[in-house]
A and B are shown apart, each in its own frame.
Chain A
Amino acid sequence: MKASADIIRPYGDTTDDGMVQVSFTLPVPLDKRAEGAALQLAAKMGLAPALLVHAMAMGSDFTFFIVYGSVSHLVDLREVIVIEREFALLSAKDVNAAIKKRLHRKLVVVGACIGTDAHTVGIDAILNIKGFAGEKGLEYYSEIRVVNCGAQVLVPELVARARAEKADAVLVSQVVTQKDRHIHNTMTMSAAFREAYPAGKVPLLVVGGPRFEQGSADALGVDRVFGKGTTPGEVASYLVHAMATMREQTT
């Protein structure tokens, strides 16, 4: 099988050897049958030949396996879809200058973890001066006023706070994803904002968390979704970009 530039295979230690490593647990006791079961799964995953390098009992009813093997699947790079960032990355200085020029006042950002989510790591990384990945948080920007409501904020509280602070943007972080809490909470939140504000006056709704799907903003009723590893600079740059289409808030 000869791969063109667009067709690739995994690289173990030689071009196109297709080698991958997987580990998994099967709910069977460790014996010959369990090992056969692991190899069967590996074959169905496209590993041929598959090498069962490790099998270990996990208690009396489970077995843990590590399998190496050459995967028969090909990757076609032409079919990969990448969602490009729709805005330019700006420095803190440029962000401040842009806000000053467009708004003639500070941009107000209200942030929170909503619902039962108590993990403030994400929202704090974006908002706190301390920041994330070497970038200072939004509090550091002289032209942004940050109101961090913290964790487990109820949606009505968040709406009230956003109104009281005349928020231009509302940032919501959702880390807990069990039983799709993050999706449910986000949709509740966006619906509450649409209900509380007149049409066209709703602040920018931005949600972030490790498990949001790219491109799901519309379905969630928000303006933008950010994923794992997002830095404060990206969020600030997005806010400036979105301001271009944002109407002046009066409520």
Chain B
Amino acid sequence: MSPVTRMTQNSPAKPKLELDPTVIRKARSLARKAGAPVVKITKTHTTVSVERAVLRLAGLSGADHEGVPWVNHLVDAVRDEVGLEHGVTTPVFDALRRGEAPDLLTLAQKSAADSVSFRVPQGRDGSAAQKLALRSVKPGMARIDKNRATRERLVKRHGNPKQRPWIYLIVATGDIYEDIPQAQTAAREGADIIAVIRSTGQSLLDFVPEGATREGYAGTYATQENFRLMRAALDDVSKELGRYIRLVNYASGLCMPEIATLAGLERLDMMLNDSMYGILFRDINPIRTFVDQRFSRQIHARAGIIINTGEDNYLTTADAVDAAHTVTVSQLMNEYFAKEAGLQDWQLGLGHAFEINPEIPDSFRMELAQALLARQLFPKAPLKWMPPTKYMTGDVFRGYLLDGFFNLVGTMTGQDILLVGMMTEAVVTPFLSDRDLALQNVRYVLNAAGGLAEDFHPPRDGFIQTRARQVLSEAVDLLEKIANDTTGQPGSVPLLQAIGDGTFGLMKRPADAGKGLDGVVKRAPGYDNPVSTLLERPTVSERRPPIAGSASDNPKGAEA
């Protein structure tokens, strides 16, 4: 498929769906209305994980002999003694100034042994500590900036994938040294993006494990060293293939801000990062999630990382026909929160999935309608298209066919990132041969029908156009309901109320419950976070999107 194909399909002259622009504007303004009060709350809170991320940027890494990271020790020690209301850095750098220890690592080690005393410095001491903190996180930020520049240089040198969508493959052995050759093989077989799935338990760990890891459950632990090893291996294979291979991991769960930071420090290229996934599917406290998420997204914005959102998850619990609009609502909310945090359109890998029951008549047409709707609502976003899982059975032959249809929707509707479906989904961990067969499937469809987008124009008021409009209008109705949910106490936040009521995915998640709640701290008036200071400082340069062609095609941007 040539780049021209994409230009044609995104041409503003002839949109595939005739959607009412006023309805789209209304949807975005409702998303803003629902999201803004939540953003306000995030600005008045911090979390243990945000504070630990700041220490990581200040250069503190490593763990004690039991594997407890030094950042955890130091944040816990400060919290026990003076609280985190003022941020961790002010008391920490004040302690360094007072000569409690020569450097951060020693300070953390001493704090683990309870032999340091912290205070919240006032006046001149306070501003001196804050100044020192700001100076100390600058090298970390510079490393993130440098990594971004390196990525841009390597993409220029090796090139982007020649076809669209980009092909996204998962490796997950649990052992980083087993993952590396698998990832390199996958790249040689055609994968453009490698995701290393995390060990299942990691999202609920309140610390980031250290070092290279060789044992995980249904995935490999996300650690800084694992990130580094895999990125280096993919750099080698990028050079060999003449194509920049992107690396994906997960900025989610209780350590979201730290993992986002490590991703920036080790030049990961994409991160799974959904605004509400942790709340709904991991029962993580809503405030914790939103605070962590905003910081993570600010880091991602700075690091030039593309986020991938997790709308596919809604459809695994709810019905993909009845709940289609919840996907659209989530995409709009993810877009709002992402842009508020400084991410640009080319960084929004909004997700959606092929999960309609194949037994339903016209299921394929409805999939087309939904995929086109996403394409048209977010014309500049690198949409992530995810394969069937819910209706995959032990019938691997039928599964292979379903994956073929999934690939067809992906190419017909101009999706950008295609997560390759495995016919053994729901049966076993994919065999080596399953991956190869899956890639054959993708190649056949792209090769045979890659240009079909050019010919495919659903008729006005036909089934597909009507279905897309219906989903959009249901999305607007739901957003209206959320934005105006005032069933709670006066002054309560409607979106949090809606999450508490079970509006999304049928799961009720009240704002005062959930995992990680005890790691949420309300900021005091003197709160200082040097990383936020740097992240929120207006940047001078608007950088070029690395996906050439995707940003300049359509003048009607997705402005939130």
- Residues of A bordering B, CB below 8 Å: 23-25, 56, 58-59, 62, 64, 115-118, 120-121, 124, 128, 130, 150-152, 176, 178-179, 181, 210, 228
B282: contacting residue among A25, A64, A118, A179, CB under 8 A? A118
Residue B433, interface by CB 8 Å: yes
CA of A111 to CA of B189, assembled, Å:
43
Say yes or no: A179-B217 contact (C-beta < 8 A), given A64-B436, A116-B201, A118-B200: yes
B281: contacting residue among A59, A64, A116, A118, CB under 8 A? A118
Chain B residue nearest to A125 in the complex (CB): B317
Residue B316, interface by CB 8 Å: yes
- Could you jot down 14 A-B contacts, CB within 8 Å? A25-B431, A25-B432, A59-B185, A59-B188, A62-B432, A64-B436, A115-B201, A118-B282, A120-B317, A130-B319, A151-B283, A176-B200, A178-B174, A210-B426
Q: What are the 10 closest A-B residue pairs judged by CB atoms, nearest first?
A: A116-B201, A116-B200, A64-B433, A25-B433, A58-B436, A178-B218, A59-B185, A178-B217, A176-B218, A150-B283
Question: Which A residues are CB-close (under 8 A) to B201?
Answer: 115-116, 152
CA of A1 to CA of B429, assembled, Å:
39
Chain A residue nearest to B284 in the complex (CB): A152
Question: Which A residues are CB-close (under 8 A) to B507?
Answer: 150
CA of A24 to CA of B318, assembled, Å:
36
Question: Which A residues are CB-close (under 8 A) to B390?
Answer: 121
Nearest CB of chain B from residue A16's CB, rounded to whole Å: 24
Residue B204, interface by CB 8 Å: yes
A151: contacting residue among B188, B199, B282, B432, CB under 8 A? B282
Question: Which A residues are CB-close (under 8 A) to B188?
Answer: 59
Question: Which A residues are CB-close (under 8 A) to B318?
Answer: 130
4 extra interface residue pairs, beta carbon distance < 8 Å, beyond A115-B201, A121-B390, A151-B281? A58-B436, A150-B507, A151-B283, A152-B201
Nearest CB of chain B from residue A41's CB, rounded to whole Å: 14
| B283 near A124: Cβ-Cβ < 8 Å | no
Say yes or no: A23-B433 contact (C-beta < 8 A), given A151-B283, A178-B174: yes
| B217 near A176: Cβ-Cβ < 8 Å | yes
| A152 near B204: Cβ-Cβ < 8 Å | yes
| B436 near A128: Cβ-Cβ < 8 Å | no
Residue B550, interface by CB 8 Å: no
B217: contacting residue among A24, A59, A116, A120, CB under 8 A? A116
Question: Which A residues are CB-close (under 8 A) to B319?
Answer: 130
Question: Which B residues are CB-close (under 8 A) to A115?
Answer: 201
How many A-B contacts if CB must be within 8 Å?
61
CA of A116 to CA of B201, assembled, Å:
5
| A124 near B317: Cβ-Cβ < 8 Å | yes
Chain B contributes a number of interface residues (CB within 8 A of A) equal to 29
Question: Which A residues are CB-close (under 8 A) to B432?
Answer: 25, 58, 62, 64
Question: Which B residues are CB-close (under 8 A) to A25?
Answer: 431-433
Chain A residue nearest to B189 in the complex (CB): A59
Question: Which B residues are CB-close (under 8 A) to A176?
Answer: 200, 217-218
Residue B441, interface by CB 8 Å: no
| B317 near A117: Cβ-Cβ < 8 Å | no
| B200 near A117: Cβ-Cβ < 8 Å | yes
Question: Which B residues are CB-close (under 8 A) to A130?
Answer: 318-319, 506
Chain B residue nearest to A181 in the complex (CB): B217
Question: Which B residues are CB-close (under 8 A) to A210?
Answer: 426
Question: Which B residues are CB-close (under 8 A) to A23?
Answer: 433
Residue B203, interface by CB 8 Å: yes
Nearest CB of chain B from residue A186's CB, rounded to whole Å: 15
Chain B residue nearest to A179 in the complex (CB): B217
| A152 near B217: Cβ-Cβ < 8 Å | no
Chain B residue nearest to A149 in the complex (CB): B283
CA of A126 to CA of B188, assembled, Å:
42
CA of A67 to CA of B337, assembled, Å:
53
| B429 near A178: Cβ-Cβ < 8 Å | yes
Nearest CB of chain B from residue A116's CB, rounded to whole Å: 3
Question: Which A residues are CB-close (under 8 A) to B204?
Answer: 116, 152
CA of A72 to CA of B282, assembled, Å:
51
CA of A115 to CA of B433, assembled, Å:
31
Interface string of B422-455 (1 = CB under 8 A from A): 0000100101110011000000000000000000
CA of A151 to CA of B174, assembled, Å:
21
Question: Which B residues are CB-close (under 8 A) to A62?
Answer: 432-433
CA of A212 to CA of B437, assembled, Å:
29
Chain A residue nearest to B436 in the complex (CB): A58
Chain B residue nearest to A116 in the complex (CB): B201
Question: Which A residues are CB-close (under 8 A) to B281?
Answer: 118, 120, 151
Interface string of B193-209 (1 = CB under 8 A from A): 00000011101100000
CA of A23 to CA of B396, assembled, Å:
12
CA of A134 to CA of B506, assembled, Å:
18
Question: Which A residues are CB-close (under 8 A) to B218?
Answer: 176, 178
Nearest CB of chain A from residue B424's CB, rounded to whole Å: 11
CA of A58 to CA of B439, assembled, Å:
11
CA of A210 to CA of B217, assembled, Å:
17
Question: Which B residues are CB-close (under 8 A) to A179?
Answer: 217
Question: Which B residues are CB-close (under 8 A) to A118?
Answer: 200, 203, 281-282
- Centre residue among A56, A64, A116, A181 by max chain B CB count within 10 A: A116
Nearest CB of chain A from residue B513's CB, rounded to whole Å: 11
| B217 near A121: Cβ-Cβ < 8 Å | no
CA of A64 to CA of B439, assembled, Å:
14
Nearest CB of chain A from residue B310's CB, rounded to whole Å: 12
Say yes or no: A121-B316 contact (C-beta < 8 A), given A58-B433, A64-B433: yes
Nearest CB of chain B from residue A56's CB, rounded to whole Å: 8
Nearest CB of chain A from residue B10's CB, rounded to whole Å: 35
Nearest CB of chain A from residue B282's CB, rounded to whole Å: 6
Nearest CB of chain B from residue A70's CB, rounded to whole Å: 21
Question: Which A residues are CB-close (under 8 A) to B433?
Answer: 23-25, 58, 62, 64
Say yes or no: A152-B316 contact (C-beta < 8 A), given A58-B436, A128-B506, A176-B218: no
A152: contacting residue among B283, B317, B429, B437, CB under 8 A? B283
Interface residues of B in 403-431 (CB under 8 A from A): 426, 429, 431
Nearest CB of chain A from residue B474's CB, rounded to whole Å: 18
Question: Which B residues are CB-close (under 8 A) to A64?
Answer: 432-433, 436-437
CA of A128 to CA of B189, assembled, Å:
41
Nearest CB of chain B from residue A174's CB, rounded to whole Å: 11
CA of A149 to CA of B530, assembled, Å:
39
Question: Which A residues are CB-close (under 8 A) to B189?
Answer: 59
Chain B residue nearest to A59 in the complex (CB): B185
CA of A178 to CA of B219, assembled, Å:
10
Question: Which B residues are CB-close (under 8 A) to A24?
Answer: 433
Nearest CB of chain A from residue B104's CB, rounded to whole Å: 32
Interface string of B307-322 (1 = CB under 8 A from A): 0000000001111000
Nearest CB of chain A from residue B152's CB, rounded to whole Å: 31
CA of A124 to CA of B199, assembled, Å:
22
Question: Which A residues are CB-close (under 8 A) to B436?
Answer: 56, 58, 64
